Structure 1
């Protein structure tokens, strides 16, 4: 007489059909997917020949943001850093004329939020032509300065010497 309980063999899960189905789905999606080249834009700019003609500087609104995040519109200080105040100043500067282009000149140390506030205020004032001013970093001598010296966050050699 056998009194020990009969142990069942553990159930095996066969993964082969699952792997086959996953591979078939992968092949199906790879074959049915199309990649569009329309997303890439190829732009070939025209080349100009001839002499340069000095252009008149168009009338624009100059918005300067200093390193503390304070705004100046056409060399007039804005009383606070609120978006609503900047919108009022921009609308007052614009008057009844058509929308003018806005040139944003921000200090390199300006907080990102101040630039976003300026963009938001310009949009709320109905100004859609916005440009950012930048200055070109002067080329350093290849022997005295490494190429990344203009991009570093620390002081340059000239600033340390002073």
Structure 2
């Protein structure tokens, strides 16, 4: 009988198969993942390509500049308040409620400036609104 104690060997953790599996998983993820960055929202505004109207109803053209200034029928409005813009729209429409308001806003104009025009038209009692668009052949700036 051999009563001699054996020296117990410490179990050894082999890391090489573990590293191999991790590299395979990493390669799989790199090949199957698509990376797309959305740094800014690209918007292409619609272009109008319609026939010209032969008979034009009463129209009021409201231009909105990039810095928020307004012009009603190519006449600059002194301020940027909705009350001044409403007064100009009432004067330009001549009191007719069937007048069409054409809003021509700069591409870089703030949305709030266009909403102010919509609000001023509502206050002036002008319900017929439309937006001006570029023609099909014009290149955007």
In structure 2, the partner of 1:89 is 88
**In 2 relative to 1, CA 117–98 (structure 1 residues): closer, same or farther, beyond 3 Å?**
closer
In structure 2, the partner of 1:72 is 71
Structure with the bigger RCO (C-alpha within 8 Å, sep 6+) is 2
C-alpha separation between the residues in 2 aligned to 1:103 and 1:135?
Answer: 13
**In 2 relative to 1, CA 53–64 (structure 1 residues): closer, same or farther, beyond 3 Å?**
closer
RMSD after superposition:
2.5
Normalised to the residue count of structure 2, the TM-score between the two structures is 0.57
In structure 2, the partner of 1:61 is 60
Normalised to the residue count of structure 1, the TM-score between the two structures is 0.50
1:133 counterpart = 2:132: yes
In structure 1, the partner of 2:7 is none
Q: How many residue pairs end up in the alignment?
A: 91
1:98-117 correspondence to structure 2 within 5 Å: 98-117=97-116
In structure 1, the partner of 2:121 is 122
Q: Larger Rg: 1 or 2?
A: 2
Between Structure 1 and Structure 2, which shows a larger proportion of strand residues?
Answer: 2
CA contact (8 A) 1:65 1:71 kept: yes
C-alpha separation between the residues in 1 aligned to 2:105 and 2:111?
Answer: 10
CA contact (8 A) 2:57 2:99 kept: no
